[in-house]
Amino acid sequence: MITFFNGIGACSIGIHVLLEEAGADFENRIIDLANREQFSPDYRAANPKGKVPAILREDGSLVTEFPAIALWIGHTYPEARMLPADFEGQLRVIEIMDYMVSSIHMRGFTFIFAPMKFHPDDPSAQEALRAHGRDQVKIGLDNLSETLGDKDWLLGDFTVAEGALFYMTRWCHQHGIEMPDNIRDHHQRMIARPAVQRALRADGLATPEKSGLAA
Ligand SMILES: N[C@@H](CCC(=O)N[C@@H](CS)C(=O)NCC(=O)O)C(=O)O
């Protein structure tokens, strides 16, 4: 069985959703980020990067980084049809996931949620960084909105990239960050899916406040 290293409320909910969509057999191992378990010797031995998500595969090897894990899930569970068969289709899935993780998450949400990491002693610099993060999230969501258009899913068919958008729309929902209408609709379509509901329930996120899903 694979071990999924997950953090409650973290970006790893996107991978949790994909594992459920894939019908994977996995252990949901919660790393207590609030109490800094990611820095514990045990977790550092398993994942020296000290981040979630991560997946320990049955052969004992570890996969980290959201786009890589998502690609592995799409490839390993082909019956779930979450990865296009052709190279061009896969290229577009990686392209959009990397944009979400590297630009919108790392250069946007990180600054909104944790400006104190960058300016520990300067509240006004923290506020400026938070505002910059909000601008970056808005630009990112507007670009995704353009890509999504009036389709149900980002690239047409449902792909592993939906998991990356979902972790961000859940953050927007929980923290009252405005979303373009079609991105909000994408979130609603996601929480209507049984696999997404299973992941949210398992992580204690199935509440109107945390995800828009009734407990
Ligand atoms: N580049 C990583 C980012 C993962 C990441 O930043 N995870 C956060 C949770 S959303 C984390 O583990 N934070 C704990 C920490 O930084 O101490 C990926 O794509 O998976």
7 lines ligand 1 (CB under 6 A): yes
pLDDT over 80 at 215, yes or no = no
Residues 6+ apart with CB under 8 A from 71: 83, 90, 93, 94, 160
CA-to-CA distance for 112 and 87, rounded, in angstroms?
35
Tell me what pLDDT residue 59 has.
97
Question: DSSP letter at 215?
Answer: -
Same-domain status, 45 and 118: no
74 pLDDT tier (thresholds 50, 70, 90): very high
- How far is ligand 1, taken at its centre, from the CA of residue 150, in Å? 31
Provide the domain count of the chain: 2
Task: State which of 37, 44, 49, 51 you would mutate to test the pocket of ligand 1, scoring each by most atoms of that ligand within 8 A of its C-beta.
Answer: 51
- How far is ligand 1, taken at its centre, from the CA of residue 115, in Å? 15
Task: State which of 52, 71, 112 you would mutate to test the pocket of ligand 1, scoring each by most atoms of that ligand within 8 A of its C-beta.
Answer: 52
pLDDT over 80 at 80, yes or no = yes
- Overall average pLDDT of the 1-17 stretch: 98
Which residue lies with its CA nearest to atom 3 of ligand 1?
A: 65
Q: Is 215 contained in some domain?
A: no
214 pLDDT tier (thresholds 50, 70, 90): confident
User: What is the tens place of the pLDDT at every residue in 17-72?
Assistant: 999 999 999 999 999 999 999 999 999 999 999 999 999 999 999 999 999 999 99
User: What is the tens place of the pLDDT at every residue in 94-146?
Assistant: 999 999 999 999 999 999 999 999 999 999 999 999 999 999 999 999 999 99
Share of the chain above pLDDT 70, in %: 100
The CATH number covering residue 151 comes to: 1.20.1050.10
CA-to-CA distance for 202 and 198, rounded, in angstroms?
6
- Which one of 32, 55, 80 terminates a domain? 80
Same-domain status, 74 and 167: no
- Overall average pLDDT of the 198-207 stretch: 97
The CATH number covering residue 34 comes to: 3.40.30.10
66 lines ligand 1 (CB under 6 A): yes
Same-domain status, 66 and 134: no
Taking the CA of residue 102 as reference, the ligand 1 atom at the shortest distance is 1
Same-domain status, 170 and 127: yes
Tell me what pLDDT residue 185 has.
98
Token pair listed for 60: 């004992």
Structural domain containing residue 177:
87-193
Alpha-carbon distance values, 183 to 154, 177, 193, 207, 214 (Å): 9, 12, 16, 20, 20
65 lines ligand 1 (CB under 6 A): yes
- How far is ligand 1, taken at its centre, from the CA of residue 108, in Å? 13
- Overall average pLDDT of the 153-164 stretch: 98
Tell me what pLDDT residue 91 has.
98
11 lines ligand 1 (CB under 6 A): yes
Token pair listed for 187: 């979130």
Annotate 4-34 with three-state secondary structure.
EEECCCCCCHHHHHHHHHHCCCEEEEECCHH
